[in-house]
Chain A
Amino acid sequence: KAGVTQTPRYLIKTRGQQVTLSCSPISGHRSVSWYQQTPGQGLQFLFEYFSETQRNKGNFPGRFSGRQFSNSRSEMNVSTLELGDSALYLCASSLETLSANTEAFFGQGTRLTVV
């Protein structure tokens, strides 16, 4: 059974640009959630998508957005990039929503560097 796949693995962008990250969950999983990991703030919840709907959103500015497709694949978009957006972005896949008793499995992440 394939795990969670995130693409690309590495990205370098310039301030002001926008970026789109992709996550393919485990087959059959309907929930995808996104996390930002930085040395200073650690792992922080960005948002969760379930059945193509955003269910929850963490405390991040509107520049961070996402969507989920009918096949459960999810994309995350960051517009007007800032240096502070440099981070490892991790995607988690779970069978049910995070409000249920469910396990979340993570991908290897996309390392974004903003210069």
Chain B
Amino acid sequence: AQKVTQAQTEISVVEKEDVTLDCVYETRDTTYYLFWYKQPPSGELVFLIRRNSFDEQNEISGRYSWNFQKSTSSFNFTITASQVVDSAVYFCALSDPSRGGADGLTFGKGTHLIIQP
């Protein structure tokens, strides 16, 4: 069975600090997709990124960057120069298409990020 672990339940940093959110996944398949979502207090899950298992290139989007390492089954997310608006719960998720989407998206428990002014 597939599994996503976000070991950090809550992280609190001061504004402008860099912060990394960890994500470790388990799957038996060679083809899979990884996602990060942001959930602000309003409740909506905001899509941030999708990465397929064959693309290990790191990605940068503004202050956000993602480090995908298949060797350690990790897909970590870094926010550079954090801002108060980054405060939210962040979820890492895994999709395994080999089972026809039978499990939907498998989510980690989430990391609550608090950015203090």
Contacts and interface: CB of A to CB of B under 8 A. Distances in A.
A113 to B, nearest CB: 14
Given A101-B33, A106-B44, A107-B44, A42 B104 contact: no
Interface string A46-82: 1010000001101000000000000000000000000
Contacts of A46: 104
Interface residues of A, number: 26
Contacts of B105: 33, 35, 43, 45, 92, 98, 104
Nearest to A109: B43
Interface of A: 33, 35, 42-43, 45-46, 48, 55-56, 58, 88, 90, 92, 97-101, 103-109, 111
Interface of B: 33, 35, 37, 42-47, 50, 52, 91, 93, 95, 97, 99-110
